[in-house]
């Protein structure tokens, strides 16, 4: 017997893409621009530390990681977000994750009730969004609320303007900045207002920050912890999630962390002690070394900056193109995302993702329309020489779309 609670989940985006494209041959040699899998070299430090600590695979690792791991993360958060000394108590406020995906899911399992104030609990989700959020909401029997993140609101969901009765039953909220897929970056003030909202309405806010280290020239994207501190809000309702997948080009290492309010971390740790998969000791050692090092991160950013520049060069000025402010995706407005995806594949062998596969229609907002329908998501992970012909083909699509220029900038 299979439970019905997940029956609302559509097929995952990538099997859907395969089903869409497999009916036709690629028009040319394939150019992969659909999956956000980093392709830059992994740092040597990763290989060295893993090799040096290989004997650790002989032991069951502690679920809350090692003191060295927690201290490295605490130090990184404090440096990166200029947190006042003492803001982070590593032993009470940090846990390792096997990548942020499982942690984002598990956080809802540990912290989101099915009911709040006598009503079905609501989970706020940006729309379009990283698909794990919706599965997490359904897993706990809460109602996912898909809040539009469109040009009209600067590509970020505005939770502060949601109706009072909805906020009163909100138990958990996901927020992604820099955002996947739009590459929008929330200001510190926006993040602070969200932390304050979470405190006022007593829900947990999960800031998904896994793209925080990938950004063009200019100041680094702000984070949820610094914003809460600046706003004078306690961290009791705040969690931030980050990962080595993008920062250190190690998506297969499965290493991330969650940091935030001690009571939230304690509750997550308790559930994880029963049901979580601990991060292996060699992975914890490697992660510790990587979070202490910024040299490889700067080198990684330099490679992405070349690609931002390439996208600007080829797509700049075309309707539908907005230079991302963070992350490695382009979110491009076309007439019909699925049709554009098929055309790119059949005529050029370029594989992108229809935006609709990352969005959902929600009857409460924008007439129930899926905000991704007119978009494609393009991943800038391959080297520039591979991306160039792909972006040229995409420029051809943008030139023939009938859409008008987007009014807002991401
Ligand atoms: C927005 C967002 N959050 C979380 C993740 C999960 O990353 P990981 O589990 O590798 O840390 C991804 C991965 O692509 C993502 O795009």
Q: pLDDT of 315-339, one tens digit each?
A: 999 999 999 999 999 999 999 999 9
Average pLDDT over residues 246-261: 98
Q: Cα(219) to centroid of ligand 1, in Å?
A: 22
pLDDT at residue 407 in the model: 40
Asked whether 181 lines ligand 1 (CB < 6 A), one says no
Is residue 107 a part of any domain in this protein?
yes
Per-residue pLDDT of 346-375, as tens digits, reads 999 999 999 999 999 999 999 999 999 999
Q: Find the 373 Cα to ligand 1 centroid distance in Å.
A: 22
Domain that holds residue 185: 45-295
Same domain for 60 and 138, yes or no, is yes
> Looking at the domain assignment, is residue 138 inside a domain?
yes
How far apart CA 13 and CA 214 sit, in angstroms, is 23
Does the pLDDT of residue 409 top 70, yes or no?
no
Amino acid 110: pLDDT: 98
| pLDDT tens string 101-133 | 999 999 999 999 999 999 999 999 999 999 999
**Six token digits for residue 410:** 């991401």
What average pLDDT does this structure show over 130-142? 97
What CA–CA distance (Å, rounded) separates 94 from 259?
4
Return the structure tokens found at 334: 């076309």
- Domain end, chosen from 295, 326, 354, is at 295
Residue % of the chain over a pLDDT of 90: 95
Using a 6 Å cutoff on CB, does residue 130 contact ligand 1?
yes
CB 90 within 8 A of CB 259: no
pTM over 0.75: yes
Residue 125 forms beta bridges with which residues?
146
Q: At what angle do helices 384-399 and 337-348 cross, to 10 degrees?
A: 120
Q: What is the mean pLDDT of the chain?
A: 96
- 155/200 same-domain check: yes
**Residue 96, ligand 1, Cβ within 6 A:** no
Q: Are residues 128 and 10 in the same domain?
A: no
For residue 117, the SS3 value is coil
Q: How far apart are CA 148 and CA 364, in angstroms?
A: 10
Whether 305 has a pLDDT exceeding 70, the answer reads: yes
- Residue 291 CA to residue 257 CA, distance in Å, equals 11
**Band of pLDDT at residue 401, cut at 50, 70 and 90:** confident
Q: What is the pLDDT of residue 402?
A: 76
CATH number at residue 371: 3.90.1150.10
- Report yes or no: 66 and 281 within 8 Å, Cβ to Cβ: yes
Distance CA 296, CA 51 (A): 18
Has residue 410 got a pLDDT over 70? no
How far is it, in rounded angstroms, from Cα 98 to Cα 43?
19
- Number of domains, the chain: 2
pLDDT digits (tens, 9 = 90+) for 152-198: 999 999 999 999 999 999 999 999 999 999 999 999 999 999 999 99
What is the whole-number distance in angstroms between the Cα of residue 187 and the centre of ligand 1?
21
Between residues 4 and 75, the one the model is more confident about = 75
Same domain, 125 and 245: yes
Q: Give the three-class secondary structure for 150.
A: coil
Question: Of the candidates 190, 220, 219, which has an alpha carbon nearest to the alpha carbon of residue 207?
Answer: 190
pLDDT band at 403 (very low <50, low <70, confident <90, very high): low
């Amino acid at each position: 017997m299979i439970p019905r609670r997940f029956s609302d989940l559509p097929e995952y985006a990538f099997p859907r893409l395969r089903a869409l494209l497999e009916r036709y041959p690629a028009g040319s040699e394939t150019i992969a621009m659909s999956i956000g899998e980093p392709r830059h070299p992994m740092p040597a430090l990763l290989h060295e530390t893993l090799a040096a600590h290989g004997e650790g695979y002989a032991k069951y690792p502690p679920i809350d990681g090692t003191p060295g791991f927690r201290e490295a993360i605490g130090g990184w958060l404090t440096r990166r977000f200029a947190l006042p000394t003492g803001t982070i108590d590593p032993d009470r406020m940090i846990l390792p994750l096997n990548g942020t995906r499982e942690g984002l899911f598990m956080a809802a399992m540990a912290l989101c009730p099915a009911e709040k104030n006598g009503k079905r609990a609501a989970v706020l989700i940006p729309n379009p969004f990283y698909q794990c959020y919706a599965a997490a909401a359904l897993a706990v029997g809460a109602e996912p609320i898909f809040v539009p993140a469109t040009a009209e609101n600067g590509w970020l969901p505005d939770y502060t303007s949601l109706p009072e009765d909805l906020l009163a039953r909100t138990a958990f909220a996901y927020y992604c900045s820099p955002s996947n897929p739009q590459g929008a970056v929330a200001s510190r003030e926006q993040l602070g207002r969200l932390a304050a909202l979470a405190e006022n309405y007593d829900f947990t806010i999960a800031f998904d920050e896994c793209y925080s280290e990938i950004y063009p020239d200019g100041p680094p994207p702000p984070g949820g912890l610094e914003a809460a501190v600046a706003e004078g809000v306690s961290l009791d309702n705040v969690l931030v999630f980050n990962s080595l997948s993008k920062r250190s080009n190690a998506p297969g290492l499965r290493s991330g962390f969650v940091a935030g309010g001690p009571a939230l971390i304690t509750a997550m740790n308790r559930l994880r002690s029963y049901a979580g998969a601990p991060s292996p000791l060699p992975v914890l050692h490697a992660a510790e070394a990587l979070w202490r090092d910024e040299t490889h991160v700067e080198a990684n950013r330099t490679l992405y900056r070349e690609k931002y520049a390439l996208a600007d060069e080829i797509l700049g000025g075309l309707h539908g193109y907005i230079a991302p402010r963070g992350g490695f995706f382009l979110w491009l407005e076309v007439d019909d995302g699925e049709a554009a995806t098929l055309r790119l594949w059949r005529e050029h062998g370029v594989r992108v993702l229809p935006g609709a596969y990352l969005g959902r229609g929600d009857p409460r907002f924008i007439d129930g329309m899926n905000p991704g329908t007119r978009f494609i998501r393009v991943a800038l992970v391959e080297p520039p020489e591979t991306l160039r012909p792909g972006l040229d083909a995409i420029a051809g699509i943008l030139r023939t779309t009938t859409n008008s220029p987007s009014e807002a900038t991401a």
